């Protein structure tokens, strides 16, 4: 039963990943269609992330009240409604309206499923789980690129993705009895979960540092995801259709990195995998700073994705170890909030830079975020783990 449930969770994570990559890849086509300024994409992204942050802040309480199964189903249904809204939006202002529920749909399910897997499954499953998320974020640009190459436009890509999300929602609905059969075996861990207020947890330096790690890693991932296509088009003179294809390559790099990390987790601790991923990111960014060709720039994005992919799931799986099982849900809530602050803030800031200065600052901006990540990682490893009796 637990194995079948794990497969369902994998499928749910495919659905979680699909909307995350779709908008950024589609944006060059959308702003040309709507005849709207480039920076409007940042506003849509901010609203999406705002909805996710709002939901993540209360995720520990929501998880304890509704349970992971119900949250996963409701979140997926909300995502379907939001994607339909994007598909039929006559202008960017209608996208503003549907962006917030799209963020809400991602917030609770992300924290709920990550906490569930961190508590009950091995690190190999956390990596494979996020590999399936990588499949989801690869599927979005793939179908969008397919629709654009046929001349059907970005709306056709959104329509295809919506059908996939509906199918995932049906699978989650049918799996509800399965969750009930499995969950009674897990009640011991669920009952010891402590709801510690954000105001108390954030006072601890290790919590603040892990939040900074999540913020910067997600900041790099989503800045590349949202603005990578625009950078290739505007700064490296690549055609929109080819740039969309390279963004598929970028998201494949994320998925492949997580798949490989899952295999290597049998021999390497999560911390070593995180550090190795950071090495790949650093080298790729340094090459991207150079005046290389558009093709090499696209390849660098792939290796950034390959390096960034394993960082998020391995940091998540370290949560019960670093902060204890009792604090796991509360810390996970803060970590997810920090993640989406990175998802919101980093691409938004670069959007303003791209509009007012130049998209060519993309690689320099990534380097700045990367340096903060490395400093946070060094300090994080110097501080002892947290025990529940500290609160």
Place of tokens 């603005």: 227
**Can you list the alpha helix ranges (DSSP code H) found in the chain?**
2-34, 40-57, 59-66, 68-88, 92-120, 123-149, 154-174, 176-183, 187-191, 198-201, 205-234, 240-264, 270-289, 294-308, 311-317, 319-323, 328-356, 362-380
**Domain extent for 169:** 2-390
Query: What are the C-alpha distances in Å from 172 to residues 93, 169, 185, 301?
Result: 32, 5, 20, 33
pLDDT of residue 301: 94
Count of the separate structural domains present in the chain: 1
What's the whole-model pTM score? Answer: 0.75
pLDDT of residue 167: 93
Instruction: Please write the tens of the pLDDT for every residue from 259-285.
Output: 898 888 888 888 999 999 999 999 999
Average pLDDT over residues 171-176: 90
Instruction: Please write the tens of the pLDDT for every residue from 18-37.
Output: 887 788 778 888 888 888 88
Whether the per-residue pLDDT at 157 is higher than 60: the answer is: yes
Instruction: Please write the tens of the pLDDT for every residue from 105-147.
Output: 877 777 778 777 877 777 788 888 777 777 787 778 788 878 8
Average pLDDT over residues 307-329: 83
Among the listed residues 369, 362, 268, the one whose alpha carbon sits nearest the alpha carbon of residue 317:
268
Of 337 and 297, the structure prediction assigns the larger pLDDT to 297
Residue 202 pLDDT grade (very low, low, confident, very high; cuts 50, 70, 90): confident
52-66, 218-232, 327-341 — which one is most confidently predicted on average? Answer: 218-232
Among the listed residues 99, 88, 111, the one whose alpha carbon sits nearest the alpha carbon of residue 46:
99
Of 198 and 275, the structure prediction assigns the larger pLDDT to 275
Whether the per-residue pLDDT at 391 is higher than 70: the answer is: no
Instruction: Look up the CATH number of the domain holding residue 43.
Output: 1.20.1250.20
Whether the per-residue pLDDT at 190 is higher than 60: the answer is: no
57-61, 68-72, 105-109 — which one is most confidently predicted on average? Answer: 68-72
Residue 324 pLDDT grade (very low, low, confident, very high; cuts 50, 70, 90): confident
Average pLDDT over residues 180-201: 64
Whether the per-residue pLDDT at 2 is higher than 80: the answer is: no
């Amino acid at each position: 039963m637990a194995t079948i449930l794990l497969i369902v969770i994998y499928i749910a994570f495919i659905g979680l990943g699909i909307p995350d990559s779709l908008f950024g890849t589609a944006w060059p086509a959308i702003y040309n269609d709507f005849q709207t300024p480039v920076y409007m994409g940042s506003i849509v992204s901010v609203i999406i992330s705002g909805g996710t942050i709002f939901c993540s802040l209360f995720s520990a309480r929501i998880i304890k009240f509704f349970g992971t199964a119900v949250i996963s189903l409701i979140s997926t249904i909300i995502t379907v409604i939001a994607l339909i809204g994007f598909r039929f939006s006559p202008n960017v202002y209608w996208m503003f309206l549907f962006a917030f529920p799209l963020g809400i749909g991602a917030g609770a399910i992300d924290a709920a499923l990550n906490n569930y897997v961190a508590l009950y499954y091995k690190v190999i499953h956390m990596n494979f789980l996020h590999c399936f998320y990588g499949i989801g974020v690869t599927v979005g640009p793939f179908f969008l690129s397919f629709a654009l190459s046929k001349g059907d436009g970005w709306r056709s890509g959104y329509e295809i993705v919506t059908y996939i999300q509906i199918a995932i929602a049906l699978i989650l609905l049918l799996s509800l009895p399965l969750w009930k059969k499995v969950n009674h075996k897990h009640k011991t861990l669920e009952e010891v979960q402590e709801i510690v207020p954000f105001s108390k947890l954030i006072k601890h330096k290790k919590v603040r540092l892990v939040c900074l790690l999540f913020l910067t890693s997600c900041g790099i991932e989503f800045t590349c995801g949202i603005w990578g296509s625009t950078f290739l088009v505007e700064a490296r003179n690549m055609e929109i259709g080819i740039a969309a294809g390279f963004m598929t390559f970028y998201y494949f790099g994320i998925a492949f990195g997580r798949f490989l990390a899952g295999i290597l987790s049998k021999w390497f601790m999560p911390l070593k995998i995180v550090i190795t991923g950071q090495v790949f990111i650093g080298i790729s960014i340094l090459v991207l700073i150079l005046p290389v060709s558009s093709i090499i720039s696209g390849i660098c994005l792939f290796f950034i994705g390959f390096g960034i992919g394993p960082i998020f799931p391995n940091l998540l799986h370290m949560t019960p170890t670093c902060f204890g099982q009792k604090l796991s849900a509360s810390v996970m809530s803060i970590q997810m909030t920090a993640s989406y602050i990175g998802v919101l803030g980093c691409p938004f800031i670069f959007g303003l830079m791209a509009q007012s200065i130049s998209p060519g600052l993309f690689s320099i901006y990534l380097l700045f975020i990367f340096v903060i990540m490395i400093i946070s990682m060094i300090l994080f490893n110097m501080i002892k783990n947290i025990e529940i009796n500290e609160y």
